[in-house]
Structure 1
């Protein structure tokens, strides 16, 4: 075959190569010019235009240059601290239900959730480490909790309901009234109790078979979808799933589920849903997603306190916690107002509030669960004061604890705190606050609950 014939047969390939070279020359020319002309941009596919656009700034950058505060090193407790711990344990002595071994979520109110049940397990382990109870008593209390959890009627035969009567184990609503169907399940609450079951295995390995049997009896795979945590609500009488968790709570819950081999990587990965809001000179990690599709998500101390006191911080949560704490310290320095904010029960309507570092689109907002502003209910929270003092041990945290010391009731336990606006005591007394006080004092003495005592 002649050269001319070969050339003719290859003409398609030659045209392709010439077009490719021309295209490369055009790209080089456009790079030298800068932005592509409007006509070229209009003709460029959206995906290609996105590739040409500058990458958004990494929201983690402000934290990579933030030096985390040093953690307090374990040391024997003072007599004062041991006295504080005994007051906190009094709450659990008063509120353990004889029939079930479960604890009331609020003083003398026989309702509980998986969140409060997890807090009770933390209280038991902490009290044991502080020698307030013997290992035998701790084991007996934990065993009774495991028995009751195994006996629960599950929502839709799948997972624990959002609330139970602490004496009868009936499925109830938030008014503690029996409901046949139930309310659905909270993925965050269940992950909380699962996390604390991991602490039980670590501290009482002889109970591991019972813990594993309980975990296996719950369909935990139903609350994990593509690495995310899924809750279940009842809407117009029918179950409806929804993604659960926002920055802080979501990562703590993901860690708990990972202890038992569940893939919650997307819940743990904070970057896709992270933005930074500066509050009192500190970069505050905020979720970009709305809360209940009503108000921007909120930032409180609680999930970071749990993470540090129970698991021990990872590098990321240590930096986040540092910024969240330092903003509160800075507000006190600027205003003279003691600041220790987190979620709290209230002793008056609406009975529960989120006192935030940032929430609802503004710093220091106080919000109901539905997103309404109630700033008059901001509480200097007992659990935040004790938690930050245990973790960071600064002059400011010591002053916070001293400010709240007079609110303790030796016959009842530690109340939620002090209302900032009036100085009156928020007398609501709860499982969560007294559990955090115990966990904080245990941390001061022995370090995180997930580690062997130092």
Structure 2
């Protein structure tokens, strides 16, 4: 009885030993059959993949960097020191007052929203985010007091809460700044709307995060506003998703390329959204050397047809609003140095980014690298318009605030010529003709204010140095 009782007690160990011996025997038997056909299983998905358009493989240059060492070129970049000066000069304050004039002229009395372009009562979530940044920056520069800043921000929050959302989900891509009506890009009323832009919404979400940081008394209104937007719809599996209306059908699409995508991801992280794939870069990154600098370029196509482009703007926003992380600091340093090197080589002042134009096609991306080449200037649809390259006011002020070099000081001196005390700063100077790009916008004047606030106090997300 004692033996049987012990046998029962040991049954678990016995089963384990039997399974172990059986498994070992099975492995030894399988090894006699030769190698399994793993190669065929691994190759098949690559041969049948349809997610990447064939055109992308054709347009990606053979010099791209790939593989596990994709970040190695950037590890060799020595980040430039930040140039927070802790004070504003007399010239800084003169420039700040000129930039703030734009918003004194272009904020609508009925809604508290700013026009995207001087005297043009249309806005997007991007421009609304820019206006919020302008208000916070003007407050830090003592152009307005705390009470006025709070009043302006409250009016923006109230209007945003009253917007008719696209399909009752998220803000439409464009609104009439005076009536809050859904509009198309010509500012014509649109009953259905255009869809939503994940990047534009992330831009205003970033600005709302800055509101909570600088005006915590407004946090309940911010939370109530965002609670009424279905932000879960634009964050799917760690990516940012926008929509377009095509042939009457709402279609979803991934939004964002390296630079803008990571800035937008940081914004969504402020409110607890999982955007791990949007913040990551390595899966969609190639390196293009421009003027001796490693430039981070997205391998995905812009609008499915044109190699992606690299401009200054998302890095300016990242540094001045959030403060760089180690990766974006290196990316920004390389992108800035390439522009400085182009000047040293050609004598052409270079400060490139996206800009509104004062004539058709009215908008351009002046790139460090884009469309398959360095220094390309592209329309939204990917056509080349290199004669519209602009020494951009916002790039000049932004780089000067962040890095404060002799070259950036020269840029600011050049674009100071397009300052209009009655209207604000114009977009910049056309490189080819030397004539001013006289379009005057909310985005540019907001960046000028943010840059000047950064010089004196550091990133908007952090406590201002008093």
TM-score (norm 1): 0.91
Q: Tell me the equivalent position of 2:415.
A: 404
Matched, 1:67 2:78: yes
| CA deviation map 1:397-429 (0-9, x unaligned) | 000001111210000000000000000000000
Distance 1:44 1:415 in 2: 59
- The alpha-carbon distance between structure 1 residues 147 and 56, as it changes in their structure 2 partners (threshold 3 A), is same
Residue from 295, 313, 333 that aligns with 2:344:
333
Q: What residue number does 1:250 align with?
A: 261
1:238 Cα deviation after fit: 1.4
- What is the RMSD computed on CA atoms of the aligned residues? 2.0
Q: CA deviation at 1:11?
A: 12
- Give the Å deviation of 1:22: 9.2
Matched length: 425
The alignment partner of 1:387 has SS state of: helix
1:240 matched residue in structure 2? 251
Q: Hey, what's the Cα distance between the residues in 2 that align with 1:380 and 1:453?
A: 30
Residue 45, structure 1, aligned to residue 40, structure 2: yes
Seen in structure 2, the aligned counterparts of structure 1 residues 12 and 147 have a Cα distance that, compared at 3 Å, is: closer
Matched, 1:136 2:147: yes
Q: Give the secondary structure class of the aligned counterpart of 1:45.
A: helix
Partners in 2 of 1:46 and 1:65 — Cα distance? 38
Partner Cα separation in structure 2 for residue 12 and residue 235 of structure 1? 57
Q: Deviations over 1:159-208 (max 9, x none)?
A: 00000000000000000000000000000000000010000000000000
Aligned: 1:175 with 2:186: yes
Q: Who is 1:158 aligned against? A: 169
Report how far residue 57 of structure 1 moved. 4.0
Distance in 2 of aligned mates of 1:249 and 1:85: 26
Q: How does 1:36-435 map to 2 (within 5 A)?
A: 44-47=39-42, 56-435=67-446
TM-score, normalised via structure 2 length: 0.88
Question: SS in structure 2 opposite 1:428?
Answer: coil
Give the superposition deviation at 1:43: 8.4
Instruction: Determine the C-alpha separation between the residues in 2 that align with 1:43 and 1:291.
Output: 35
Distance 1:417 1:16, change over 3 A: closer
Once the two structures are superposed, what CA deviation does each residue of 1:307-333 show, in whole Å capped at 9, x if it has no partner?
000000000000000000000000000
Is the 2:116–2:442 contact (alpha carbons within 8 Å) kept by the matching residues of 1? Answer: yes
Structure 1 residues 327-365: Cα deviation after superposition (integer angstroms, max 9, x where no partner): 000000000000000000000100000000000000000
| 1:227 Cα deviation from its structure 2 partner | 0.5
Q: 2:447 matched to 1:436?
A: yes
Q: What CA distance in whole angstroms lies between the structure 1 residues aligned with 2:431 and 2:310?
A: 18
Q: Where does structure 1 lack aligned partners over 5 or more consecutive residues? A: 1-9, 27-39
Mapped partners of 1:392, 1:11: distance in 2: 67
What is the distance in 2 between the residues matched to 1:211 and 1:285?
34
Whole-Å separation in 2 of the counterparts to 1:77 and 1:17: 77
**Whole-Å separation in 2 of the counterparts to 1:16 and 1:361:** 52
Displacement of 1:45 in angstroms is 3.2
CA distance in 2, matches of 1:12, 1:357: 59
In structure 2, the CA distance between the partners of 1:320 and 1:22, relative to structure 1 (3 Å rule), is same
2:186 counterpart SS class: coil
Give the Cα–Cα distance (whole angstroms) in 2 for the partners of residues 265 and 133 of structure 1.
38
Quickly say closer, same or farther: Cα 1:11–1:253, change in 2 above 3 A: closer
